[in-house]
Structure 1
Amino acid sequence: MTKVKFSPSLMTMDLDKFKEQIEFLNDHVDSYHIDIMDGHYVPNITLSPWFIEEVRKISKLPMSAHLMVTDQSFWVNQLIDMKCEWICMHVELLDAMAFRLIDSIHEAGLKAGVVLNPETPIEVIFPYIELVDKITIMTIDPGFAGQRFIESTLQKIVELRKLREEKGYNYVIEMDGSSNRKSFKRIDEAGPDIYIVGRSGLFGLDSSIKKSWEIMKKDYNDMTGKVIE
């Protein structure tokens, strides 16, 4: 069995089956991915810190908040107050704030992550790379589910793995965007630690979350030759 870490993107779940889907996934996944969008940095408005509180009523798994918002400090402070386990910020919005916000997250006993858009090179985070706990590579443009998978972004995962080994950094590497049967083989070859799965990779595969999970496992096995626990 291969231990592959999956983090479902709850923005894409069936909210009519919220409790049923979370209770099933609690026994199968490692964390939950919460997209917080403000309608400014990206056109959509989606989940909020309130949603994290609702998930916590029926789950003890770690929550990872992905901030697609213009006012990073405002949202980071809210997430610190509610003790969100992972707080992940877009590097494109961190000018003059990176060290302060990362330190604030760590001082609260939480984990700080950064997110890179497809066009953003990893060199942007070099000044503070040794401080971050997670680096998320966007394999689609942020803001919308179901976009075209951008294969060239996977090279950043390869580079981050090599850099981690050479420098002894402790960050985990996550990929976000169009993780599904069509892309599993290429993603696996790049080697992220965490796969974010959404509508095309999990929730949209069947009306039953149990069947969707089994289909996703088979898709991953078929395309990579590995078996999910």
Structure 2
Amino acid sequence: MIAPSILSADFARLADEVAAVRGAEWLHVDVMDAHFVPNLTIGLPVVEALLGVTDIPLDCHLMIDDPDTWAVRYAKAGAHNVTIHIEAADDPLRIADELRAAGALAGLAIKPKTPLEAYIEVLRHYDTLLVMSVEPGFGGQRFIPEVLDKVRAARRLVDSGELSVLVEIDGGINEETIEQAAEAGVDCFVAGSAVYGADDPATMVAVLRDLAAAAAGRD
């Protein structure tokens, strides 16, 4: 699965930019509050507007200080997957229950330096695990390969039946890095600059998907 990140899109032409990634499985939307991360991007009104112009399921990544208050609002608006950061949540189990009750998948994100092992029990309540392969806050950063150890650990837990989550990765994914991420066991790849920096974003989505499928042995 490829989830183009509109963080790298032209915000003045969002409807056109969303249409340009036809064929993508998800559309990744980074919500940042300038508190949890230093950047400020978009919020619920823009997500609601996007829901009106695309049928690509929205994958909302909340990089915000108060997901306990805000996460369920994105689910109620119609987001398909709503991901919160474990580092910001006061009550992640309640958030997961509320997201699912509102009709969304519940996603849990971990920063590059956050250990996976500490949150295995929490992840049993979640549908997706988002492994950050850059420090959250800005697009276009260099991929941190060391996080793939967490991906491999998560993949083993999923394959053994101990967890039931979709493994997603976000940060520095491009034609050079997607294969190693796929080999490690990623299911869904967030790609911003690689997609929106291409001459034809839709073609790049297909290229990345093919590279990942081949590397994972699913070609």
Normalised by the length of structure 2, the TM-score is 0.90
Which SS does the other structure have where 1:92 is aligned? coil
- In the TM superposition, what is the alpha-carbon distance from 1:132 to its structure 2 partner? 0.4
2:120 equivalent in structure 1: 126
Matched, 1:33 2:28: yes
How many angstroms does 1:17 deviate by?
Answer: 3.5
Residue 6 of structure 2 aligns with an amino acid whose one-letter code is L
Distance in structure 2 (CA, Å) of the matches to 1:202 and 1:176:
13
1:141 corresponds, among 135, 139, 149, to 135
Q: Paired residue for 2:201? A: 212
Match of 1:19 in 2: 15
TM-fit CA distance, 1:131: 1.1
3-state SS of 2:190 partner: strand
- The alpha-carbon distance between structure 1 residues 162 and 43, as it changes in their structure 2 partners (threshold 3 A), is same
1:166, 1:196 → 2: CA distance? Answer: 25
Distance 2:108 2:209 in 1: 26
Conserved 8 A contact 2:24-2:205: no
Q: Deviations over 1:4-47 (max 9, x none)?
A: x1001111112343233322323x10111111100101111002
Identity %: 26
Tell me which residue corresponds to 1:102.
96
Q: In structure 1, list runs of 5 or more residues that go unmatched.
A: none
Q: Output aligned runs, 1:145-224, within 5 Å.
A: 145-199=139-193, 201-206=194-199, 211-215=200-204, 217-218=206-207
Q: What is the distance in 1 between the residues matched to 2:109 and 2:85?
A: 5
Gapped regions of structure 2 (runs ≥ 5): none
Q: Normalising by the residue count of structure 1, what TM-score does the alignment of the two structures yield?
A: 0.86
**Whole-angstrom distance in 2 between the partners of 1:164 and 1:223:** 19
- 1:223 is displaced (CA, Å) by 8.6
Mapped pair 1:9 → 2:2: no
In the alignment, is the contact (CA less than 8 A) between 2:76 and 2:103 conserved in 1?
A: no
3-state DSSP class of the match of 1:59? coil
**Contact 2:107–2:127 (Cα < 8 Å) also in 1:** yes
- Aligned partner of residue 158 in structure 1, secondary structure: helix
- The aligned runs of 1:55-94 (5 Å cut-off) are 55-94=50-89
| Paired residues of 1:221 and 1:228 also in contact (CA < 8 A) | no
Whole-angstrom distance in 2 between the partners of 1:104 and 1:113: 12
Could you say which structure has the larger radius of gyration?
A: 1
1:117 and 2:111 are equivalent in the alignment: yes
SS for the counterpart of 1:115 is: strand
